[in-house]
Amino acid sequence: MPEQEAVKVKKRGNRLGFMAFKAAARVFGLRGAYGLLYFVCLYYVLFDRAAVRSAIPYIKRRFPGRGPAGRLLEAYRLFISQGRNLIDRFYMVSGAGKFDIDILGYDRIKSFLQGPTPKGLVLLTAHVGNWQTSMAGLELFGRKVHLMMRPEHNEAVREALSVDGGGERIGIISPDGYLGGVLEALKAIKDGDMVSIMGDRSYGAETVEVELLGGKVRFPYGAFSIAASAGCPVVVLLTAKSGPMRYVVDVTTVIETVYTDRRRKMQDIGGWVQEFASALERYAEKYPYQWFVFHDLWSPEDEVDRQ
Amino acid sequence: MSGYNEERLASIKARLKELLVSELSLEDIEPSEIADDEVLFGEGLGLDSLDAVEIVVLLQRNFGLEIQDMEKGREIFYSLDTLAKYVHDNTTA
């Protein structure tokens, strides 16, 4: 799906439902707000062809063998899951309550950050789970997190930054800055901070081809180049709702970025990106409705990102 | 009269040209084809942001240089000339 159309779908969802969900959450609590989702998402499944079409490529790969009706059902489940994500985000941002957060892999990351040579690391994430909970979990590491992104493209980030200013805990490195922000990223890592980069969408960056859910996709590799230059690992950051009031933040997949042969570094980079793709595939197996892929990753036309 | 040792600066430029071609895998370019004042990013040599990451590594490994002030990166990385002068000023002969 062309990126502009995908943005339009997302905005439509927010405009139509968010006010009602906010009110329901305030009056009836989370469960009440969730209850509204069943009706709203049914509307989208039945009448928003663009929304359903955007979800089908992922659903076909993750749930092979489903017929048309089965795929509609999976799309419905995916929309509900995303809706819960949005409601939970509002719940946290508004201060109405908190979720319990389990951090898997905490000790290993903590020991790296407290090692003899203070250095940060690169976090590689994807459009999964709840961004708010991953930031809440990362607070425990006591380091500033720099997000390499365009803030105008991410409503969750805008909300978080508007609520608490972000400033000390969260920074933004714009890829529109000088040299795509890579020098800022290297400085942040050198200062002992963490740099978070989205790994399942290229946004025009250079990509490599890897295997994912039985097909080939192209994922960006800039995170690994930066990490290799900075001498730090890439930590895959994935979050998922694991219970009614519980989230898990998974930082167990740590990819060491040391070139075996710099003259053939793209081979190493390809292997590292494949490790990330494999981590995503394991995630999709365990939490199929929490990876919000609303475009065709497997289509060569998705290379519009690279233009 | 510049404050640079011109002979040393020329030697640094020659070395940088070789390193840029080899480390950045610039397959269709010979070191001798890179002008002394070649702009590195965008126009000129046409390098991109990931090449900048490689240049940071190249400076570390070949000249023992770590760019302390990344905010000066725009000046340092502007052209081969500015890069060479940075190396000249921050290393000894």
Contact B52 A179 (CB under 8 A): yes
Contact B73 A229 (CB under 8 A): no
Q: Is the pLDDT of residue A6 over 50?
A: no
A169-189: average pLDDT:
88
A243-263: average pLDDT:
92
Q: What is the pLDDT of residues A269-296, one digit of tens each?
A: 999 999 999 999 999 999 999 999 999 9
Q: What is the mean pLDDT of chain A?
A: 85
How many CA atoms lie within 13 Å of A198's alpha carbon, on the beta-carbon side?
23
Residue A207 β-bridge partners: A220
pLDDT band with cut points at 50, 70 and 90 for residue A178: confident
Q: Which residues of B touch A179 (CB under 8 A)?
A: 41, 49, 52, 73, 77
pLDDT band with cut points at 50, 70 and 90 for residue A2: very low
Q: Which of A187, A222, A262 sits opposite B50 (nearest CB)?
A: A222
Q: Which of A175, A186, A262 sits opposite B56 (nearest CB)?
A: A186
Q: Give the containing element (helix H, strand E) for A194.
A: strand A194-198
Kindly list the domain boundaries of chain A, sorted by start residue: 3-93, 100-289
Q: What is the pLDDT of residues A86-145, one digit of tens each?
A: 889 888 877 778 899 999 999 999 988 887 777 899 999 999 998 888 888 898 999 999
Q: Which of A184, A206, A262 sits opposite B50 (nearest CB)?
A: A206
Helix (H, G, I), strand (E, B) or coil at A215: strand
Q: What is the pLDDT of residues B34-81, one digit of tens each?
A: 999 999 988 888 888 889 889 998 999 999 998 877 778 888 999 999
- Could you tell me which chain B residue has the CA closest to the CA of A179? B49
Nearest to A221 by CA among A191, A266, A186: A266
Return the pLDDT at A94: 78
Contact B48 A178 (CB under 8 A): no
What domains are defined for chain B?
Answer: 6-90 (1.10.1200.10)
Q: Is the pLDDT of residue B21 over 70?
A: yes
B75-93: average pLDDT:
92
Return the pLDDT at A174: 87
Helix (H, G, I), strand (E, B) or coil at B37: coil
Task: Give the tokens for residue B61.
Answer: 């490994």
CA distance B5 to chain A (A): 29
Nearest to B79 by CA among B30, B19, B17, B31: B17
Return the pLDDT at B25: 83
Q: Give the containing element (helix H, strand E) for A56.
A: helix A49-62
Please tell me the pTM assigned to this model: 0.87
